[in-house]
Structure 1
Amino acid sequence: MPDFIIETSYHLPVYRRRPYSAETMEQACIFALGDEGWGDAREAVDDSGETYVSGISQGKTVYDSPELAIPDAFREAVERKAELFDELVALLREPAQPMGLSERDFRNWLPRAMAILAKADAIHAGDAASP
């Protein structure tokens, strides 16, 4: 019977609460994200994320063999959702064909699809000010 080394992980949220003087709420958020001081941080243990498999290798010690691919069912859900998001965006990017839609329905659908794609692009680029 083979041995496997299974590495599991979970995300532990760490937070801080500080006042920021700014012209707008958005500017205060930018200041907070740029603030590198974490000396007063607290752990939110009750809000820790799911446990997921973050590494697999076959053998009795960690470095006996190369890492194996993690089956999707054991990977982090947020990572799988992000990949699905990318796949859905790619699908929406395909040339839209009004198959089965009236021209009027298609004209109503297209601006909404374009707005969602703009939002997806901003999220994918890591833009904090996404629409």
Structure 2
Amino acid sequence: MKTKNTLINYVEFKAVDLEKTRKFFNHCFGWTFTDYGPTYTAFAESGLEGGFEKSDESIVNGALVVLYHEDLPLIKAKIVEAGGKVVKDIFSFPGGRRFHFADPSGNELAVWSDK
């Protein structure tokens, strides 16, 4: 059995507006949040735990986190409706399709599907 020592355990992002960020990810993906003071919120129910730290600096995302959804057009519409921006439209790659989006704070993520 593999130990947890070698597994990805957490991912952390910066956020300009924690409330908008919470609402966005809860609406689009059903994530739940726990606040740890006025400048940090942790998320769960995402497949990997993580958090958002409030930042007044420009956000430059050094990692691409990829989420899964079986219906790309549906989740893309939800993301746009909630204030996200599509930065790379749906495209095919070996094994599936995906698109990239920016959340309300400017973090770039992707959603893929094998459907």
**Fold conserved between structures, TM > 0.5:** no
Larger Rg: 1
Instruction: Report which of the two has the higher share of helix.
Output: 1
Instruction: Report which of the two has the higher share of strand.
Output: 2
Q: TM-score, normalised by structure 2?
A: 0.21
- Larger relative CO (CA 8 A, sep 6+): 1 or 2? 2
Q: TM-score, normalised by structure 1?
A: 0.19
